[in-house]
Structure formats: C-alpha cells, structure tokens
Amino acid sequence: MPNQAVSEQATWTDPKPFWQVWQETVGSHSHKLFLSFEVSQTQTAQWSYGEFDRLVGRAANLLRSQGVVRGQAVHLALANSPAFVAIWLAAMKLGAWMVPSDPHGSAAELAVHLQRTQPAIGVCATTRSAVYRQAVQLYESSAAQTQGSAHSSKMPILELSETAQGLNVFDTEEAAIASAEAVAASADISNLDRAGVPFTSGTTGQPKGVEITQANYSFAGKVMAEAAGLQAGHTQLVVLPLFHANAQYYSFASAIWTGASVALMPKFSASRFLAQAKTHRATHASLFAAPMRMILARGAQKVEGLRLEHCWFAQNITDDQHTALSEIFGCQPRQLYGMTETIPAVLSDNLPPTPQSMGKVTPGCALQVQLDDGSEAPDDAVGEIAVSGQVGITLFRGYLDDPETTEASFRDGWFLTGDRATRAETGLHYFVGRQSEILKVAGENVSTVEVEQVLAAHPAVLEASVVGRPDEIRDEVPVGFVVAADTANLPSEASLRSWCEERLSKPKRPQNFVMLDELPRTSVGKIRKFMLLEQASQL
C-alpha cells in the first residue's frame, strides 16, 4: 500500500528570510558561543553570536565599499574559515547572493563558475591567489570576446586570511577605507530573494547552478534542527567543506536556527576527528560514508570523554562498519538522504537506526517513490525518488538561467531526483542507485549499489565502486573498482570473483576487477563515476 502518511506537498506556513533568523538568534543569544575555529592543534579562535555579528557587519562594510549591492553575486573560493562564514552572512545582509566554489579547484573550473554567475566581487585566500587571479583572467578574457568593448570593467578581488584568529579577519587595505558606520541590512529582503547558488558536484556530468533562497536556508535549518534534536546547548562539529550544501544546511543553518554552537575545522582529518570532537565538546556531527571508512581504516579507538550524541551520514556503509562506528562514537550514526535541490534531508533514519536504510520521510517534507508513469510505487517496488514542496521555500527555486532543465526536472509538481529506491511496508526507504546506476545486463536490471555492497563486505576490501562497460552480447556488464583495506595484502582477483559468485546471481557478477589506490572523488567525497566509466570502456 502507498505510504498514506506522506502529504502531497511540503508547506511552511510562516517562512522567514535567513537573515531574519540570524538577527533573531543574535538578539536572543548575543553572549552565547557561536563559532570556534581550530587555527591549529594548539590554538582555537572563538566568537559569541554578538561578536560574530559585528564581524559580519565589517564584512558587509567591505563588500559595500567594493560596490556590492542587492541582487549581485559574491564569489567565494575559500576553505573552511571564519572569513567564509562572515562573507556568506554579510552577502545575505546586503541582499546579495553567494557563489561558493571549491577553493582548490583549477583556474578553468573556477572560471566557469565566474562566467555563469558574473559576480560583483571575487573572494579568495591569499595563499591561493595566483590560481584565482588566473581564473579571473580567463573569465574576463572570455567575457571580452563575447561582449566586445561593452565588457571593460575589472572584477574586484579580495584576498583574505583563512587562519585569522580575531576581528583582524578583515584588516585589509580595502577594509581600512570602508565606512566605519555599520551597513544597514536591506530593509526589503524577502523569502524568495536569491541567497546562494552552489554548483552540484558533477559526479556524472556538467554541474548545475542551484538557486537557493533566503527562505530555503531557513527551512533547512528548521527541519534539520528538529530531526537531529538540536538545541541551544549543543555543538555542531563541522569537518566537511563549507562550499558544499551538507555543511551549510545540516550543520550551520540548523545551529543558527536554534542558537547552538559550531566547532569549525579547516578540513577533515581521519586521524584527528575523534580528538577534535572531544576537544571542542561536540554533540552533533555530519559525515559521508567515505570519511567514516577512513576513520575506521586509521584504526580509530573509543576516546574517553567524547560527548557525541548524534551523527548524520550519507551513502551506505556496511552493518559491520556501522557497529564499529557506533562503538567508537558512543552514538549510533543515522543515515539520511538529500540533495542540494531538496534543501533539508528529505529522508532520515530514526533510533534505533537501520544501517542500510535511508530512513523514513523527514517530518516537514513530502516524498514519494514513483513509477515511470508518475504513480506512487507499491511497497518494495523500485521507483524514482520524487520530492514535492513550495518552490523557493521548501524546494530550490530552479537551476540558474536554465528554465528548460528546471522544467524537465519536475513532473506534476514533483521534483525528480534521478535516484531510485524502494520503500518497505515499515516506511523505511532503501537506495537502489542513480538512474544511470541501473545496468541492463542481457535484459536484466542490475543495481550497481547492490554489487558495491557485496564487494565492500569482502574482508580485504575497504570500499568499491561498480560501473558498466559495453558488451557485444550482453549490452553491458559490471566492472568492479576496488580499494584494498590493506595495501600490503591486496585481495586476489580469484578471491573477489569467488566472493561474488557465492553472493550474486550471474548477471550481477563483475566481469573485471580493477585495483585502485583510491577512488576518484569530488571534494566532498562523491565518486566521480564518469572517470571510472572511461577507464572501464578501455578494458
């Protein structure tokens, strides 16, 4: 029977702009700790909500002095840092919008984001300014060629420190000439004002710019705080990159919604994650499956004094890995499912968790597993995950300057995620794979996710990824890419083949096994399967 508990549309009756949420929280928690930033293993910088609000004001002064006004883009190529957070909030204060890019991206990659958003200003780290300025040159050269003499202005560039320990974050020459008076927030900031355009990770192709509104960030914070039981006395540990939606939605937005604290790390460290959680008295965290496996691969042991109460994770891990992590963390990690476009995680597991399940529909969200004709799939039938909601409030506003792709992504008001899943009678959902991860092997549907789970369970395998390669007789066949748990003791192809023969039907068994030192990933840990497809096609 279809899940009758799922409403037809997720609605939020009293949405509010995220800038208003920030102002209200600052007003209620001015003296409470907002941000701790680990400058080094021995140094931590801290700001209360009130102190950081003043930092945001200085950032807004700086942006305004450089000509940033409402409706313009501010491009960020910054790693996790107080500067990133302050610029993000300052842009919202001005009614501008942030374009966060991978700070370690190539000049060509950064130039594409600049070309597609045409920002009023670019912000980069002083330590990576050479690459960034090269990206700006590529962007301005391309713009001059397409627009001719009409494009004669140069985009201002701010170089900021990612390790500043106090209000000197914005002690630059530009800041010195900025007005000493605090820039007033745009009085008419609305729920539907564009607040950010992150680009999707591009695991399968060209990234898309996802339009996120002020209300979207607020809704993400509200839903994720409630789903995690986050309260003002809690502390979010953030190790994932801030330019990605996970850290923005699940960690920062939820903390600001409730007045909780955030302990921000410059980057993820598998060897230091537990020590960081203890040092900063973290109660909540969010990870992907790959970093969790890295923690286990480092031989992590339980740390006395750890206060973790909750940990989200995305993408499957094995039951054994979940058991081991639960023992180490002192809490049972809960899987979730969401996309940049869906705003909050639309599926989230409850306690006690079911490790292989993405959970049930998150309260406040609307989701169905749909068949190809748009009808709701019966229990245990494979279908596509579809999400409904208010565009620009509980769902993203659309793809940047791409109405055709936006329209094609919806069917009868439902956003089609491209992910396939099943829903059990219990209401639990199980991931089957991307549309592109369903192989047709001699007429049989084969889920690469199922094959990956079998390979990952091999005692000598740390992780695995499966793609298809063309086959003259069977259309396509699976190919397994494997990372060994111990590089000094690689699993043999014979052992992998035997393992799969015992656990998978013939169409699902990989025809080739390729050993890799590591899987190719995006900066947030998603596997770049298109790179594996290229390699598989050469076998």
What are the sequence ranges of the domains in the chain? 46-174, 191-364+387-412, 442-537
Helix, strand, coil percent content, the chain, rounded in steps of 5: 35, 25, 40
The phi and psi torsions of 59 (rounded to 5 degrees) equal -65, -40
pLDDT of 181 above 80: no
**What pLDDT, on a 0 to 100 scale, did the predictor assign at position 468?**
92
Q: In this structure, are residues 95 and 87 in contact, taking their beta carbons and an 8 Å threshold?
A: no
Return the top range by mean pLDDT from 68-77, 183-192, 503-512. 68-77
Q: How far apart are CA 300 and CA 287, in angstroms?
A: 16
Q: How far apart are CA 412 and CA 372, in angstroms?
A: 13
Cβ within 8 Å of residue 117, ≥6 positions away: 73, 75, 99, 197, 209, 400
3-class SS at 263? strand
Q: What is the mean pLDDT of the chain?
A: 90
Instruction: Report the CATH number of the 46-174 domain.
Output: 3.40.50.980
pLDDT over 90 for what percent of the chain? 74
- What pLDDT band is residue 204 in, cutting at 50, 70 and 90? very low
Q: Which range (98-112, 147-161, 209-223) has the least confidence?
A: 147-161
- What pLDDT band is residue 443 in, cutting at 50, 70 and 90? low
How many residues are listed for the chain in this entry? 539
Check whether domain 442-537 has CATH 3.30.450.40, yes or no: no
pLDDT of 401 above 80: yes
Give CA separation, 183 vs 54, 67, 91, 127, 186, in Å: 11, 13, 11, 29, 9
Q: In this structure, are residues 82 and 45 in contact, taking their beta carbons and an 8 Å threshold?
A: yes
Q: What is the DSSP string of 406-458?
A: HHHTEETTEEEEEEEEEE-TTS-EEEEEEGGGEEEETTEEEEHHHHHHHHHTS
Higher pLDDT: 355 or 7? It is 355
pLDDT (tens digit per residue) in 240-292: 999 999 999 999 999 999 999 999 999 999 999 999 999 999 999 999 888 89
Q: Crossing angle of helices 18-28/214-228, nearest 10°?
A: 50
**What pLDDT, on a 0 to 100 scale, did the predictor assign at position 176?**
43
**What pLDDT, on a 0 to 100 scale, did the predictor assign at position 231?**
98
What is the average pLDDT across 447-460?
A: 90
Sign for the CA dihedral angle at 221, 203, 79, 74 comes to negative
Domain 191-364+387-412, CATH among 1.20.150.20, 3.40.50.300, 3.40.50.12780, 3.30.230.10:
3.40.50.12780
**What pLDDT, on a 0 to 100 scale, did the predictor assign at position 6?**
44
Q: How far apart are CA 247 and CA 245, in angstroms?
A: 6
What is the average pLDDT across 25-37?
A: 98
**What pLDDT, on a 0 to 100 scale, did the predictor assign at position 438?**
77
CA-based R_g, the chain, Å: 23
Looking only at the bridges linking them, the beta strands covering 383-388 and 414-423 are antiparallel
- What pLDDT band is residue 201 in, cutting at 50, 70 and 90? low
* pTM (predicted TM-score): 0.84
Q: Do domains 191-364+387-412 and 442-537 have the same CATH topology?
A: no
Q: Where are the beta strands (DSSP E) in 166-289?
A: 194-196, 210-213, 235-238, 261-264, 284-288
User: What is the number of helices (H) and of strands (E) in the chain?
Assistant: 16, 26
Looking only at the bridges linking them, the beta strands covering 360-361 and 347-348 are antiparallel
pLDDT (tens digit per residue) in 307-317: 999 999 998 88
Q: Which range (204-208, 209-213, 418-422) has the least confidence?
A: 204-208
